[in-house]
Amino acid sequence: MENDFDNFVGFQWDQGNIDKNLIKHDVENWECEQIFFNKPLLILDDPKHSIAEKRWAAFGMTDAERPLVVLFTKRGNLLRIISTRDMSRKERKFYEEKG
């Protein structure tokens, strides 16, 4: 992970949309969290969605090697997951080339 993310201590989930990723994309919250502990992990700025607060897109694999894209922001030393979904074919290719 990049230095900006080395000191995070956990995750923060918004109670209003805690089940959103499961309902919309069939991704469990624990799967979202797993990618931050597996290598390679690619983190890119997400300027398109960084209007109200800075956001990033993380590309990584779950323990079961499911390729996910996780959009998130930082709240102090917590990572707040906004949205998660499976990588598209184009994103998987990018991840394999850059990771």
The model's pTM? 0.87
Report whether pLDDT(1) > 70. no
pLDDT digits (tens, 9 = 90+) for 33-88: 999 999 999 999 987 777 888 999 999 999 999 999 999 999 889 999 999 999 99
β-strand pairing of 78-86 with 10-12: parallel
CB atoms within 10 A of CB 12: 13
